[in-house]
Every structure is written in C-alpha cells, then in structure tokens.
C-alpha cells in the first residue's frame, strides 16, 4: 500500500474496484488498522452494504454516513466524501461526525475540486503522451518507394512490439496496393531489440514474404543483432545484405 505524501486535513484512502486499499495518507494510517488493506475491514457490515449500494449513485458533493471501526472505537460515526477517477478507483475522505463543521466541509469541497482537476490534467497529459509516442513510432518505420518494384523501410530507435504494430498497417497497405518485388528493411539505426518486438517483427516479415512471394532483404544488421535474428530462423523469410548501397549497386548493374 502506498503512502500519500501530500498534506490533507482529513484521513484519506484510495481503493480499487475490488475494495483493496491501494494508498492512504498518514492520518488514515493513524486512525485505522489498515494491515489487511481491505476497506470492508474498517467499515461496519451494514454500512458496507450502504456504501456499496450508494457509491455509484451518490452525488459527490453529499457525504455518505457510515459506522467505522477505528483503532480506539469500533463504532465511530463518520461522513464519507467520495469521488471516482478515470481509472475506476474510489477516493474517500473520512470526516468524524462530531467534527463536521462548515470549515471542514469547505475544505473537502476544495480538495475534491483539486483532485478532479488534477485527475483530468493527468488524463490529458497521458493522452498527449500516447499520441506523441504513436506519431514517433509512425515516423520510425516509413515505407519509401525507391522504384516501381522496390520498397525501402528504414527502422529507427528500439525495436518494440508497439512500434512494429503501429508501422505494420502502413507498410502492408503500401505493399498491397503496389507491385513490389523487392522489400528492403534497414536495421542500421536500430539500437535495441525487445523480445516481444522481435516476435512482432518476425510476424511482419512473414506477412511480407507471403504477400509478394520473395524473401525480404534485411540490411544493416550489426553482428549483435544479426546473431539474435539467426537464432530465430529469420533466414527462412529474409536475405541478409550488408548495406543499401550494396543492394542498389548490384540492382543497377
């Protein structure tokens, strides 16, 4: 369970969809026995049913009154202020009924607003990051027609499953609509090969081989990468060539 190191005026926990407490602040640790990490171990059984029934219908601005088991009191009355995030995790603030003043209520409302804004900002940043990674992967394996019958695919960066998945659509579409006898795949700028990326790469080469009936011309593989590829029987689908210059020189002779 993660300890949330941010200043909050009330005990606070975050639980997943299975009722497991995945994070809490120090006030919650001091107030409750969280060793089992299950929310139903600190809530009275009837109150747990009430919480389960009303959680999805509850207005986040209104509290849910429940009976909790604290370290000092097995029947302590609390108001729970709840909110859901985009990862389907429930955020809960605990306010003891004898302390639920207007000041606390205002603080809770302010915190809920901050949490909602922060969650939305993080979601937007995640979306932008995923879009950037997608565009980078798309540019890391373009299909370049060198002639009417020869296509060139230079790969850049690390050979990952996600990258091969992104570029495969454009590559296979370009081969399908063209009449390419020779497909050149250039590994000169590849730094590392992930195992899952290698398997996805093998699938792509197999598909290209089946589409045009010819072995893929694999160029620029350094000794370390070539050794990895040989172990995976890539020679069934590819011919290894030293460089693009070598192929073009022999092509035009």
Judge whether residue 15 has pLDDT over 90: yes
Class of domain 140-251: alpha beta
Distance, in Å, from the CA atom of 36 to the CA atom of 42, rounded to the nearest integer, reads 10
> Distance between CA 132 and CA 187 in Å, rounded?
23
pLDDT digit string (tens) for 19-63?
999 999 999 999 999 888 899 999 988 888 888 877 766 555 678
Phi-psi region of 88 (alpha: psi -120 to 50; beta: other; left: phi over 0): left
Q: Do domains 2-135 and 140-251 have the same CATH topology?
A: no
The pLDDT tens digits for 187-212 are 888 878 888 888 888 889 889 888 88
Cβ atoms 85, 119 nearer than 8 A: yes
Q: Is the pLDDT of residue 139 over 70?
A: no
* Residues 167-179, mean pLDDT to the nearest whole number: 86
> Which residues, listed in sequence order, are joined to residue 12 by a DSSP beta bridge?
93
What is the rounded CA–CA span in Å between residue 177 and residue 172?
A: 9
Lowest-confidence pick of 36-40, 125-129, 223-227? 125-129
Residue 159 in contact with residue 137, Cβ under 8 Å?
Answer: no
**Ranges of each domain in the chain:** 2-135, 140-251
Higher-confidence residue: 2 or 247?
247
Q: Kindly report the average pLDDT of the chain as a whole number.
A: 81
Spatial CB neighbours of 21, under 8 Å, sequence gap ≥ 6: 1, 13, 14, 15, 34, 37, 38, 39
* Record: fold of 2-135: Beta-Lactamase (3.30.450)
What distances in angstroms separate CA 48 from CA 74, 140, 188, one per listed residue? 14, 52, 60
pLDDT score at 109: 60
Cβ neighbours of residue 253 closer than 8 Å, sequence gap 6 or more: none
Q: Is the pLDDT of residue 216 over 80?
A: yes
For residue range 60-119, what is the model confidence (pLDDT) as tens digits?
567 888 889 999 888 888 989 888 888 889 899 998 876 544 455 556 666 766 776 776
């Amino acid at each position: 369970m993660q300890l949330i190191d941010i200043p909050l005026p009330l005990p606070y926990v975050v639980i997943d969809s299975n009722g497991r407490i995945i994070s809490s602040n120090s006030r919650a640790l001091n107030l409750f026995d969280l060793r089992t990490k299950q929310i139903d171990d600190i809530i009275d059984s009837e109150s747990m049913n009430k919480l389960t029934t009303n959680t999805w219908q509850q207005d986040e601005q209104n509290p849910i009154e429940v009976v909790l088991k604290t370290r000092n009191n097995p029947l302590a009355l609390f108001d729970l202020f709840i909110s859901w995030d985009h990862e389907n995790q429930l955020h809960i603030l605990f306010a003891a009924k004898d302390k639920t003043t207007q000041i606390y209520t205002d603080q809770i409302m302010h915190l809920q607003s901050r949490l909602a804004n922060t969650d939305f900002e993080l979601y937007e940043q995640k979306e932008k990051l995923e879009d950037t990674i997608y565009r980078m992967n798309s540019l890391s394996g373009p299909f370049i027609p060198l002639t009417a019958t020869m296509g060139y695919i230079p790969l850049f960066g690390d050979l990952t499953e996600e990258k091969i998945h992104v570029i495969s659509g454009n590559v296979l579409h370009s081969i399908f609509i063209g009449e390419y006898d020779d497909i050149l795949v250039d590994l000169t700028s590849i730094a590392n090969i992930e195992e899952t990326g290698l398997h996805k790469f093998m699938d792509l080469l197999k598909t290209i081989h089946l589409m045009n009936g010819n072995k893929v011309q694999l160029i620029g593989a350094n000794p370390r990468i070539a050794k990895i590829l040989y172990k995976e029987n890539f020679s069934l689908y590819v011919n290894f060539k030293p460089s693009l210059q070598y192929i073009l020189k022999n092509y035009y002779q």
